Structure 1
Amino acid sequence: MGLFKKKKKSNFFTMLHSQMDAVTEGMSCLYEYCKTGDEALGDKVIAWEKEGDKRRRELIDEINHTYLTPFDREDLFDLSRLIDDLLDYAAATVDELRLYMIQANEEVCLLVEQLVNMSECLRASISYMEKRRDIAKEEALKAKKLENVIGRLCRESLAKLFEQDDYHIIFKYREVYRHLNRSSDIGDAVADLIMNIIVQM
């Protein structure tokens, strides 16, 4: 037996999937937090955001110590960053609801529910990237369709919100709606990048 062990081959697909696991768990906790108002669930979202940061750091460290990556190094870095941004927005939503001292209304819950669905599609897409690119593309396209759904829901929510007279309430919920809509834009960017990577593989 040699003195030096061969370095284990990096599996970046597994690491990306692990990042998306954290996103999906965090989004699910955010949805339950919005539905129940249970602050312990809000704390779980924050905890998942920190765990997501940890998983991203591990992936970046692996990139820096790996000569060959399964696809373009910059694309790998960008995909990991965008996935991490999704969790950052989930945690920021909790922070906003707490800062503005408002409860998630029905519209917020509907938006977050669709973000959960989007994150599940993106997780499925990444899980199939390595060996079933056709399915990976299908799941990415599903995520992109959900971005359109979320955009429509956001516009409808804003229209309903502006029927109120309390400008303080309007401002607070408007910021949360826009924040959630921005989350869907990032999810759409993740889907686009996945499909671009698939074409190049």
Structure 2
Amino acid sequence: MKRLRRIRDLMSGRMDSALTEALLGQLQATKEGAWLAMAMIGGEVGRTGAHEQMRSIEHLGDEERGRLVEELKNALVTPIDREDLFRLSRSIDDVLDSLRDFVRESHLYRVPDQIRFSPMLDQVIAGIEALEGAVRDLSSRPSVVILNALEAKKVGGVIRKMYQYEISRIYSGEITADTMKERELVRRLEIVGVAIGEAADAIADGAMKR
């Protein structure tokens, strides 16, 4: 009976849809995490409040990742290779985890001038949105998937470059406890950029194999 249900889902396209929806759910939670971090550094949300809200967002992301894993267990076929789907989901999870760490460390370190992180977070949001575009076209338009994946990969490179400039600025002045804390926060956002790049690689690899 289960096998017949899977075949029916395959014929109707529901299986691909369920996998895509789970990935988009993960990305939505991740984007909410990025916007929360942006609101925190802009002073719209307090650090303590942001820290608490991020727990709920992370939980949502974990639920969507769990849903994807369950769908993969039962899927007869997938829009791209299973391994690439799993890599993609894991990398999205890494993005959200690193955003969580950024918010938590900001809460702990109390660095005074946080607004300077906004350009890096702008790029993080752009990268997540590029990944969303790639996932939406996963089943139907592989060429568009690759273009969006390349855009996300490019964003990862931009974040890396911004990190390098920030580190140069930090070390060009007096090294204090606050500057070392700032370095840690900048490094956390650089790790977010690396994870975005890894997610882009996973989805591009999968699309190229089709």
TM-score, reference length from structure 1 = 0.89
> Contact 2:88–2:200 (CA<8 Å) still a contact in 1?
no
Give the RMSD, CA atoms, in angstroms. 2.1
Distance 1:185 1:18 in 2: 21
| Separation in 2, partners of 1:32, 1:171 | 23
User: Residue 26 of structure 1 corresponds to which residue in structure 2?
Assistant: 33
Equivalence for 1:6: 5
Q: 1:14 deviation in Å? A: 2.0
Provide the rounded CA distance (Å) in 2 between the counterparts of 1:171 and 1:37. 25
Q: CA deviation at 1:42?
A: 4.1
What's the CA shift for 1:73?
2.0
- Paired residues, number: 199
| Greater fraction of residues in helix | 2
The CA deviation at 1:88 is 0.6
Counterpart-to-counterpart distance in 1, 2:126 and 2:52? 21
Verify the 8 A CA contact 2:50 2:103 in the aligned structure 1.
no
CA shift, 1:198, in A, is 0.4
- Find 2:75's aligned residue among 53, 66, 73: 66
Question: Where does residue 188 of structure 1 map in the other structure?
Answer: 197
SS at match of 2:5: coil
Q: Secondary structure, in 3 states, of the residue corresponding to 2:72? A: helix
- Give the % identical residues: 25
**Residue 68 to residue 136, structure 1, CA distance change in 2 (3 Å):** closer
Aligned-partner SS, 1:162: helix
Q: What is the alpha-carbon distance in structure 2 between the residues aligned to residue 28 and residue 161 of structure 1?
A: 25
> Could you give the per-residue CA deviations for residues 138-191 of structure 1, whole angstroms, max 9, x where no partner exists?
111111111222112111111111233242112111111111101101101111
Asked if 2 retains the 8 angstrom alpha-carbon contact of 1:34 and 1:103, the reply is no
2:58 aligned to which of 38, 43, 49: 49
Deviation, structure 1 residue 71: 2.8
Secondary structure of the structure 2 residue equivalent to 1:36: coil
Gaps of 5+ in 2: none
1:101 aligns with 2:110: yes
CA drift of 1:193 comes to 1.0
Answer yes or no: is the 8 Å Cα contact 1:13–1:127 preserved in 2. yes
> After alignment, is 163-172 or 77-86 more displaced?
163-172
The one-letter code sitting in structure 1 at the alignment partner of 2:25 is S
TM-score, length of structure 2 as denominator length: 0.86
Name the structure 2 match of 1:38: 45
Cα deviation, residue 37, structure 1: 5.5
Q: Kindly tell me: are residues 46 and 145 of structure 1, through their superposed partners in 2, closer, same or farther at Cα, counting changes over 3 Å?
A: same
Task: Give ranges in structure 1 of 5+ residues lacking alignment.
Answer: none
* Contact 1:24–1:123 under 8 Å retained in 2: no
